[in-house]
Amino acid sequence: MATGDGERRIHGLAIGQAAGKIKLVFRAVVELLERSRIGSAVLAAIRATTHSFGRVLHQLWLEVTGFMFLAIAAIGAMAGVREYGKYQSGHATGPGRLALAVCFTVSFAWFGVSSFWRVWRKAKRENCP
């Protein structure tokens, strides 16, 4: 065993122990705050704010990934058009590359559309009483 491996293990153990201690301190502070009216109101405000930010960040994540998948699908579609032109002119060795471009484009388009669909479905679910 190299010294670097042991040092990494010890360092990882120290980080894990520190995280455990931070978690215990955080729980103690939360319990202390929950005992007072102002503290419980502050905690409720923090929870509501983090929940709202988390929801918005998740929606943004889905929209950005959906856009990226659709952009990659557009690149695949352009490659498919180029391969189709080669295939029609007889310069292609076979339809394999064209089929690959079509499958690539369809799969990435599906990933992009389904990502936006999830955003729409979640928004619809949250707006319905």
pLDDT, average across residues 70-94:
91
Those residues whose C-beta lies under 8 Å from the C-beta of residue 7, and which sit 6 or more positions away, are none
pLDDT, average across residues 85-101:
87
Task: Inform me whether the pLDDT recorded for 4 exceeds 80.
Answer: no
Those residues whose C-beta lies under 8 Å from the C-beta of residue 112, and which sit 6 or more positions away, are 66, 67, 68, 69, 70, 72, 73
The 3-state secondary structure of 32-61 reads HHHCCHHHHHHHHHHHHHHHHHHHHHHHHH
pLDDT of residue 11: 65
Q: Residue 66: count other Cβ atoms within 10 Å of its Cβ.
A: 19
pLDDT of residue 127: 78
Task: Inform me whether the pLDDT recorded for 3 exceeds 60.
Answer: no
Domain borders along the chain are 56-127
Task: Inform me whether the pLDDT recorded for 70 exceeds 90.
Answer: yes
**Is the full-model pTM beyond 0.85?**
no
Select the more confidently predicted residue: 110 or 13. Answer: 110
